């Protein structure tokens, strides 16, 4: 691009050049990521990129696109490069201080929304909120619910608060800094639903994560240490005390390799019903444990 700075660059030209540049850097989805970069700089949706493909770009726009391409080529995840990620149709701010929201986690929200069909005023606890993606999506789609969202990271909570304000749900989410592993009790009252995408990638599973994840996303949000079930045990213990009769716990898990172990943890306790839900790729992804009424 630098050799032709003085030439008129249209959207169509920059899109093709960016795609080819990212492809040459072995980026897995160069076309999609080139589109994302242009959409961010131009504040366009995907359709506008193609409807206005003859539009010339200004020198300032070209400079910003070039800077973002260089960051992506350096190995940073595209979401951190752009400073945002989409989750349940909501655009959320993300930085390396928070885990990038995954499409798989949307299944957890979808199942929680199903549980809340007859509990529109549900009180929900989100453990390990990170960017706030789960708490904010639930508050967005359940306008009468109240959410408490906790995290051990003050920096993550600040980002979550910003995201809640952007989506006009800050008044219905109580963000609190709390380490559930070292807090003997939670004094927040009772909850209809407890949700969490806890750290669960331990041992060889963490060692073998793609570099894009392991070298850039916060280890504290991924790796519980030597015990991959550590947070599930603690959440089970807390839930038995703070979930109302008939309440439910909805948890993300790492896949088939964890499903039986996590399900058995809850089956051995006071939970009346425990279900394993598979994601769209056929992997076990969510555990739903319900207490008897």
Mind listing the pLDDT tens digit of every residue in the chain (293 residues)?
555 556 889 999 999 999 999 999 999 999 999 999 999 999 999 999 999 999 999 999 999 999 999 999 999 999 999 999 999 999 999 999 999 999 999 999 999 999 999 888 999 999 999 999 999 999 999 999 999 999 999 999 999 999 999 999 999 999 999 999 998 777 889 999 999 999 999 999 999 999 999 999 999 999 999 999 999 999 999 999 999 999 999 999 999 999 999 999 999 888 989 999 999 999 999 999 999 88
Helix pair angle (154-166, 133-141), 10° resolution? 30
CA distance 96 to 76: 10
Residue 49 makes CB contacts below 8 A (sequence gap 6+) with 11, 15, 35, 38, 39, 42
Please state, in angstroms and rounded to a whole number, the distance separating the CA atoms of residues 177 and 187: 13
Domains of the chain: 2-74 (1.10.8), 98-291 (3.40.50.150)
- Residue 134 CA to residue 131 CA, distance in Å, equals 8
Both tokens of residue 65? Answer: 């696109």
Secondary structure of 188-218 as H, E, C letters: CCCEEEEEECCCCCCHHHHHCCCHHHHCCCC
């Amino acid at each position: 691009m630098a050799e032709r700075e003085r030439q008129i660059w249209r959207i169509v030209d920059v899109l093709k050049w960016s795609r080819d540049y990212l492809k040459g850097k072995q980026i897995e989805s160069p076309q999609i990521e080139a589109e994302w970069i242009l959409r961010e700089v131009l504040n366009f949706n995907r359709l506008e990129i193609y409807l206005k493909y003859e539009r010339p770009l200004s020198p300032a726009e070209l400079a910003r696109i070039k800077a973002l391409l260089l960051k992506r080529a350096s190995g940073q995840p595209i979401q951190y490069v752009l400073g945002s990620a989409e989750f349940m149709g909501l655009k959320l701010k993300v930085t390396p201080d928070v885990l990038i929201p995954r499409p798989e986690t949307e299944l957890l929200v979808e199942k929680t929304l199903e549980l809340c069909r007859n509990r529109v005023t549900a009180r929900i606890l989100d453990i390990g909120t990170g960017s706030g993606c789960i708490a904010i999506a639930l508050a967005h789609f359940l306008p009468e619910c109240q959410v408490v969202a906790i995290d051990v990271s003050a920096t993550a909570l600040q980002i979550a608060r910003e995201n809640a304000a952007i989506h006009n749900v800050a008044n219905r989410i109580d963000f609190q800094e709390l380490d559930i592993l070292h807090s003997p009790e939670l004094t927040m009252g009772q909850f209809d639903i407890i949700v969490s995408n806890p750290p669960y990638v331990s041992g060889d599973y963490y060692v073998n994560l793609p570099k894009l994840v392991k070298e850039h996303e916060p280890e504290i949000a991924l790796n519980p240490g030597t015990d991959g079930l550590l947070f599930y045990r603690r959440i089970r213990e807390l839930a038995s005390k703070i979930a109302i009769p008939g309440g439910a716990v909805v948890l993300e898990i790492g896949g088939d390799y964890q499903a039986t172990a996590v399900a058995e943890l809850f089956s051995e306790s006071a939970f009346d019903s425990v279900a394993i839900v598979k994601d769209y790729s056929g992997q076990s992804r969510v555990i739903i444990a319900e207490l008897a009424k």
